[in-house]
Amino acid sequence: MTLGSRDKVVHFLNRAQQFLDGMGQLKEGKGNAAALLAVHSAISFSDAIRMHFTGQRGRGDDHSEAATALRNLCLARHADASGIKHLSWLLGKKTLIAYGDDRLDPTAHLCAAFLSAERFAAWVHRTFPEVTRKDLGHD
Amino acid sequence: MTDIERLEVRAREAVAQLFNHRLSIPDIFFEAPWPDEKGRVELLAVDRAGTGDLHVVEIRYDSTKALEAIAKLMCIPAHFRWVAFFRETVTQQLPAGLDTRQLFPQSGPGRVGLIEILRSDKDDLSAEILVIAERFVGLKYSQIDPFEKKHEPDMCVR
């Protein structure tokens, strides 16, 4: 069942993809910026999924409920929820990446953020192809 | 394996790296049985973790043989079709010296893209796009799903 408007879903998908593409372009040399795009890519993918199935997205700056909402959505749809751990990790690091006092570790933080964003995006595509194909306009 | 065959096999990795940058988390297959078990394409990439557009690439060392492979590509269902060849085999200025009509199907949209393989002084290979492929029509995403379910990619994000 689809509740959210196609336009809004496509909007969130486009934003997620642009963040992911930007991350790819910036991760060599501008790792801090790329890591923040990794976080926001995951949030936007999550918003697209929730908009498609519930007609609503996460609200406000508190994104911590996004993973819970997505898990509940997967439970209700009997869908694989294995990718949500990547979203949870990224949400847990959002404040550190955006506002933290300390320098981010290239491996523990930056590379992990890039990998988590790519893994979360791959999980979203594989688990919800009916959502992520909305902007492709064929099938 | 001849030296030429070795170069063609090595070029797959260079093309795969190009697609990894150009596409979004693609599933990449080498020597892929597409569109069925009887057929083989040297490199097949499906964008968006196997749910998006399908690209096929035929790789030849020699640019002339690569252009001959376009006829084969015209019969293979794919959203985007490419040929790749080694720049060192090109004897004329491309794409200016190319009859670009051979990149297009007899009717309908689509253009075969051209990829050049470059060999460095250290014998490292890299790939660059010379002519950008344009979308062919006809292949439905639902036709790709059975292939993705049956075959494990050689490169992917998991």
pTM: 0.90
pLDDT confidence of B158, banded at 50, 70, 90?
Answer: confident
What does the block give as tokens for A120?
């979360």
> Would you say B98 and B130 are in contact if contact means Cβ atoms under 8 Å apart?
no
- CA B96 remoteness from chain centre: 21
Q: How far apart are CA A50 and CA A13, in angstroms?
A: 11
Strands (E), B15-143: 27-32, 41-46, 54-59, 80-86, 113-119, 125-131
Instruction: Note whether residue A138 is domain-resident.
Output: no
Total domains present in chain B: 1
Q: Average per-residue pLDDT in chain A?
A: 91
> Would you say A90 and A38 are in contact if contact means Cβ atoms under 8 Å apart?
yes
Total domains present in chain A: 1
Q: Do the Cβ atoms of A125 and B50 come within 8 Å?
A: yes
Nearest by CB to residue A21, choosing from B24, B52, B158, is B24
Residues of A in contact with B135 (CB under 8 A): none
Quote the minimal CA–CA distance from A101 to chain B in Å: 31
Range of the domain at B99: 3-150
Residues of B in contact with A122 (CB under 8 A): 25, 49, 156-158
- The answer, for B140 touching chain A at a CB cutoff of 8 Å, is yes
Q: Do the Cβ atoms of B142 and A139 come within 8 Å?
A: yes
Q: Predicted ipTM?
A: 0.84
Instruction: Note whether residue B158 is domain-resident.
Output: no
Residue A138 has pLDDT above 60, yes or no: no
Residue B145 has pLDDT above 80, yes or no: yes
Segment holding A66, helix H or strand E:
helix A64-77
CA dihedral B10, B149, B49, B8 (to 10 degrees): 10
Higher-scoring residue by pLDDT: A137, B39: B39
Q: How far apart are CA B144 and CA B34, in angstroms?
A: 10
Range of the domain at A49: 6-132
Residues of A in contact with B80 (CB under 8 A): none
Instruction: Note whether residue A1 is domain-resident.
Output: no
pLDDT at A71: 95
pLDDT confidence of A139, banded at 50, 70, 90?
Answer: very low
Which CATH number do you get for residue B21?
3.40.1350
pLDDT, tens digit, 9 for 90 and up, residues A51-73: 999 998 877 666 778 999 999 99
Instruction: Note whether residue B132 is domain-resident.
Output: yes
Q: How far apart are CA B86 and CA B30, in angstroms?
A: 18
> Would you say A71 and A84 are in contact if contact means Cβ atoms under 8 Å apart?
yes
Q: Average per-residue pLDDT in chain B?
A: 94
Instruction: Note whether residue B35 is domain-resident.
Output: yes
Instruction: Note whether residue A68 is domain-resident.
Output: yes
Q: Do the Cβ atoms of A129 and B141 come within 8 Å?
A: yes
- The answer, for B149 touching chain A at a CB cutoff of 8 Å, is no
Which CATH number do you get for residue A41?
1.20.120.330
Quote the minimal CA–CA distance from A125 to chain B in Å: 6
pLDDT, tens digit, 9 for 90 and up, residues A76-114: 999 999 999 999 999 999 999 999 998 999 988 999 999
- The answer, for B143 touching chain A at a CB cutoff of 8 Å, is no
Q: Do the Cβ atoms of A126 and B51 come within 8 Å?
A: yes
